[in-house]
Amino acid sequence: MQFIGLDNYIRMFSDPVFFISLKNNFMIVLVSVFGQIPLGLLLAYMLYRKMVKMSNFFEVIIFLPITISSVIIAQLWNRIFSPVGIFTSFIRMLTGNQDYIMTIVESPHFSMIPIMFVLLWQHTSLFMVIFLANLQRIPNSTIEAARIEGASEGNIFLRIIVPMMGYVIFINSVLAISGSFKSFDLIYSMTGGGPAHFTTVIAVYMYNTTFVHQNYGYGSALSIIIIAFIIVSLLLTRAVTKLFKVE
């Protein structure tokens, strides 16, 4: 062992794989904050207002993915997207092209889309349950008063529910951002970061660097960067909530 100062950090910021990993992590942050949280709030509101029949059944069905191991979910969706999977068969039937296979996973620009879709499907339910629990604390008289005044469901949702859920949105944003930078098990099980590092994230890159290639110094530097990005992201989130006076 030899102390090399900041050489690992200098190497990191000239490492193209690190920047691919960082870009993918930010894509996951975006789909988490601007996909999972709004969709979770919308689903929670629909269930809270009984807009669908058998709301208890749908609540269980929507919550189910978060209770299943990420490894199992990864294998499930790999089978769905495989050349003999349901998705491929459906597209072949729809287009009449019997030679169709999903090549998006081989694209350096679009290979993250299937992973982000699976993350959206899996983790939206967690935020939905958190929102639903807090919606049940809102007095019915508040919504009924708005209905008497002629407010539509859309206005109730945007002008009453969303502002009242402001602090819950902040808490969910903290969970989403920290979870996004820790993303590992689903991605490692689905693609292992491949092909050609197109789907790698910092946690997967750190794992491969440390435990596969036995480069513990560089892997440790990557883990410190993960912590640093989480802290900075959470501070920025807190600053935004203070700017909009979310309490």
Residue 105 near residue 15 (C-beta atoms within 8 A):
no
- With CA atoms as reference, report the closest residue to 197 among 22, 29, 7, 73: 22
pLDDT of 244: 64
Residue 105 near residue 114 (C-beta atoms within 8 A):
yes
The residue range of the domain holding 122 is: 7-243
Between CA 186 and CA 25 the distance in angstroms is 13
pLDDT of 45: 94
CA–centroid distance for 16 within its chain? 24
Backbone angles phi, psi at 204, to 5 degrees: -65, -45
Q: What share of the chain in percent tops pLDDT 90? A: 62
Q: Taking residues 180-187, what's their average pLDDT?
A: 91
Within a domain: 2: no
Within a domain: 1: no
Using pLDDT thresholds of 50, 70 and 90, give the confidence band for residue 245: low
Tell me the pLDDT tens digit for each residue of 132-177. 999 998 888 888 899 888 889 899 999 999 989 988 998 899 899 9
Within a domain: 183: yes
Which residue is associated with the tokens 């402001």? 166
Kindly report the CATH number assigned to the domain that includes residue 72: 1.10.3720.10
Between CA 53 and CA 25 the distance in angstroms is 37
Structural domains of the chain, count: 1
Between CA 170 and CA 181 the distance in angstroms is 17
Within a domain: 102: yes
Calculate Rg over the CA atoms of the chain.
Answer: 21
Tokens of 37: 């949280």
Name the DSSP letter for residue 160. Answer: I
Q: Helical H runs in the chain?
A: 7-12, 16-31, 37-48, 55-67, 70-81, 86-95, 113-135, 140-148, 153-156, 162-164, 166-181, 185-190, 202-207, 216-243
Tokens of 86: 């349901």
pLDDT of 197: 93
State pTM to two decimals. 0.90
Residue 169 near residue 37 (C-beta atoms within 8 A):
yes
pLDDT of 237: 85
Sign of the dihedral defined by the CA atoms of residues 80, 84, 88, 94, in that order: negative
Between CA 39 and CA 35 the distance in angstroms is 6
Tell me the pLDDT tens digit for each residue of 77-113. 999 999 889 999 999 999 998 888 888 888 888 999 9
Non-local CB neighbours of 123 within 8 Å, separated by 6+ positions: 32, 36, 65, 66, 176, 179
